[in-house]
């Protein structure tokens, strides 16, 4: 029997205008321990924190309880992966070297049985989002990271959190790029993956095109949704009830150019 794989994203822990930070952090800790008790592999798919930036000798003190539990779990043998998102794209060596969490930028792959899974946070994957992709390169420039480290943490961390809050508030409406994220998934289907999992939009989705699954993970602000992949299949569930959060929406197949065959043939089960 294969180990199950759990995926979740977009908790934005430490966001200054969310007043339930400790409660959401505890839910994540409980979820991680429950997953570990099932010997699951865990993927945290970006924006776990509202802002994460490692100075050479300083890490943010907020949400230390979660960091401590991550160390406890990896030390006991749980395999945990962390993908950077648009709010926490600056991980240093701390997560991997000190906590034992496997870190990835942009995307990674996972496998379970017949499922070849492409995992990415999703930021910058929309074809028309060229401006953001350019801005991301600026943010990730070694020179700019070194310059930001010159700011004292007591200023640099709160300032970045305030700026990221403004960005996130503007994105909390229905995402106009939703079809472009699907197009990205369709492209990856044609490259051989049969599952694409992403976050970023905060809109939980499970769509099936032929034998291919497109999953958007939702968030851990209002949805508390996560994806479970095991020997029985793929499901989008809610924590802590573990009930199905969203039944998959089925499409017949894909056209040759990678677009849905027909939304008229959509079947909800």
- Tens of each residue's pLDDT in the chain, 269 residues: 789 999 999 999 988 788 899 999 999 999 999 999 999 999 999 999 987 767 777 777 778 999 999 999 999 999 999 998 877 767 778 899 999 999 998 899 999 999 999 999 988 677 676 565 565 555 566 775 566 565 656 655 554 555 555 454 444 445 678 889 999 999 999 999 999 999 999 999 999 999 999 999 999 999 999 999 999 999 999 999 999 998 999 987 665 444 554 443 333 33
Q: Where are the beta strands (DSSP E) in the chain?
A: 5-8, 41-45, 80-83, 102-104, 107-112, 115-120, 195-198, 205-209, 212-216, 225-230, 233-238, 249-251, 267-268
Decide: 265 and 251 in contact? Cβ < 8 Å: yes
Decide the pairing of beta strands 212-216 and 225-230.
unpaired
Give the pLDDT of residue 6.
98
Instruction: For the sheet with 115-120, list strands across it.
Output: 107-112, 115-120, 195-198, 212-216, 205-209, 249-251, 267-268
Query: How far is residue 86 from each of residues 11, 33, 53, 114, 245, measured CA to CA in Å?
Result: 12, 26, 12, 30, 25
pLDDT at 123: 82
- Decide: helix, strand or coil at residue 267: strand
In this prediction the pTM is: 0.83
CA distance 53 to 154: 12
> What totals of helices (H) and strands (E) does the chain contain, helices first?
6, 13
How many structural domains are present in the chain?
1
Q: How far is the C-alpha of 140 from the C-alpha of 151, rounded, in Å?
A: 16
Give one DSSP letter per residue of 131-181, joined into a string: HHHHHHHHHT-HHHHHHHTTS-HHHHHHHHHHHHHHHHHHT-SPPTTHHHH
Residues spanned by the domain of 58: 5-268
**Exposed, middle or buried: residue 112 (CB in 10 Å: 0-12, 13-18, 19+)?**
middle
210 phi, psi to nearest 5 deg: 65, -115
CATH classification at residue 139: 3.60.21.10
Cα separation, 217 vs 246, in Å, equals 10
CA 179/CA 170 separation, integer angstroms: 19
Q: What pLDDT score was predicted for residue 266?
A: 37
The pLDDT of residue 257: 46
> Are 36 and 2 within 8 A, CB to CB?
no
């Amino acid at each position: 029997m294969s180990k199950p794989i759990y995926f979740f994203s977009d908790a934005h822990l430490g966001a200054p205008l969310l007043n339930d930070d400790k409660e959401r952090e505890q839910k994540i800790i409980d979820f991680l321990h429950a997953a570990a008790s099932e010997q699951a592999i865990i993927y945290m798919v970006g924006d776990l924190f509202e802002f994460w930036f490692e100075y050479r000798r300083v890490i943010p003190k907020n949400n230390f309880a979660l960091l401590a539990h991550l160390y406890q779990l990896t030390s006991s043998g749980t395999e945990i992966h962390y993908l950077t998102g648009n709010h926490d794209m600056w991980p240093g060596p701390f997560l991997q070297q000190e906590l034992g969490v496997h870190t990835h930028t942009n995307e990674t792959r996972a496998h379970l049985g017949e499922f070849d899974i492409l995992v990415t946070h999703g930021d910058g994957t929309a074809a028309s989002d060229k401006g953001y992709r350019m801005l991301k390169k600026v943010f990730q420039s070694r020179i700019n990271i070194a310059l930001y480290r010159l700011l004292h943490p007591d200023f640099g961390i709160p300032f970045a959190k305030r700026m990221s809050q403004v960005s996130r508030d503007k994105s909390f409406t229905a995402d106009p790029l939703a079809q472009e994220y699907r197009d990205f998934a369709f492209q990856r289907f044609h490259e051989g993956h049969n599952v694409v999992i992403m976050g970023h939009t905060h809109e939980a989705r499970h769509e099936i095109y032929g034998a291919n699954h497109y999953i958007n993970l939702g968030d851990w602000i209002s949805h508390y949704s996560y994806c479970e992949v095991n020997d029985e299949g793929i499901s989008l569930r809610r924590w802590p009830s573990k009930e199905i959060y969203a039944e998959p929406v089925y499409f017949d197949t894909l056209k040759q150019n990678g677009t849905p065959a027909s939304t008229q043939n959509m079947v909800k089960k």
